[in-house]
Amino acid sequence: MTFLAIDIGNTRLKWAMYEDHRPGAALLAHGAEFLEHIERLAEGAWAGLPAPERMLGCVVAGETARRRVHEQIELMLGWNLEPQWVVPSIAEAGVTNGYDHPSRLGADRWVAMIGARHHMLQLGDARPLITVMVGTAVTVDAMDAQGRFLGGLIIPGHGIMLRALEGGTAGLHVPTGEVRCFPKNTSDALTSGGTYAIAGAVERMYQHLAEHCGAEPMCIMAGGAGWKMSPSMTRPFELINNLIFDGLLVMAEKRWG
Ligand SMILES: Nc1ncnc2c1ncn2[C@@H]1O[C@H](COP(=O)(O)OP(=O)(O)O)[C@@H](O)[C@H]1O
Ligand SMILES: CC(C)(COP(=O)(O)O)[C@@H](O)C(=O)NCCC(=O)O
Ligand SMILES: [K+]
């Protein structure tokens, strides 16, 4: 049962083809395209792939992006797919959704939390869990040890922070700098400020969750820019690059057995 997983973020579309729709299935092919290049998929990266039998995706980049992906799927000769997209619900795959309006939670956050909890339980541990995704925006989501999503933070990603500062000031047009404890030039001050803003938000959520649950949380991090955060984090964490795909595989198995 070849399976196509798709994650459409606000910067890039990520896709992965698996041999089967269950966690641990063999990865056959994968790739990423900036959103402006979605139209290349059918003639480019997807040409020559085995036809997937099922597809599950999550999209936070809007209806137009989703439609453009449907068009690419329709262009694929021999593919006979019914695209399905995740809509966050009240409960799925052992995670319950504490958002005021559950379906308004970003689908990527929902899928990532389901993937993260599945990963933690595979390790034989049931602890409070923080899921951090460092993409266009950064999200820091908290679950208790029972898999209840308690709530989460949304902050600007590195790129948005820098562009906001460049756009709102006269003197902050500078090259990327280094992360320093005590930055002594504008480039380093901006790069360090963005990085520690994110690390600080995660630290604060860690404290909130540890206090709320009375136990030390586990922390799982993902997203295109996750690796940039690694040296600056204050707590132990695990970086899982395929977290969204792992979540989609868990959900696919629940849907299709
Ligand atoms: N190879 C890369 N291509 C694109 N963006 C990258 C890459 N490596 C790191 N990034 C950073 O990651 C962010 C996008 O991450 P990604 O996970 O693709 O975001 P989204 O899911 O929001 O589309 C960008 O802000 C960029 O700064
Ligand atoms: C917070 C997000 C913009 C993150 O998007 P990303 O950085 O992955 O492109 C996305 O999850 C979203 O649009 N969420 C909907 C609002 C919410 O989660 O409350
Ligand atoms: K994302």
pLDDT in tens, 155-191: 999 999 999 999 999 989 888 999 999 999 999 999 9
In CATH terms, the fold of domain 102-246 is Nucleotidyltransferase; domain 5 (3.30.420)
Q: Is 145 in the pocket of ligand 1 (CB under 6 A)?
A: no
| Residues 16 and 33: beta-carbon distance below 8 Å | no
| Nearest-angstrom CA–CA distance, 6 and 211 | 36
| Residues 53 and 73: beta-carbon distance below 8 Å | no
Query: What DSSP designation does 110 have?
Result: H
Interacting residues of 104 by C-beta distance below 8 A, sequence separation 6+: 88
Q: What is the ipTM of this complex?
A: 0.92
User: Mean pLDDT across the stretch 188-198?
Assistant: 97
pTM of this prediction exceeds 0.95: yes
Domain boundaries, the chain: 1-84, 102-246
pLDDT at 251: 98
Q: Is 105 in the pocket of ligand 2 (CB under 6 A)?
A: yes
CATH value of 1-84 in 3.20.20.70, 3.65.10.10, 3.30.420.40, 1.10.10.10: 3.30.420.40
Residue nearest to atom 12 of ligand 2 (CA): 106
Active site residue 188: no
Q: What is the edge-to-edge ordering of all strands in the sheet holding 95-97?
A: 91-92, 95-97, 148-156, 137-143, 129-134, 218-222, 238-239
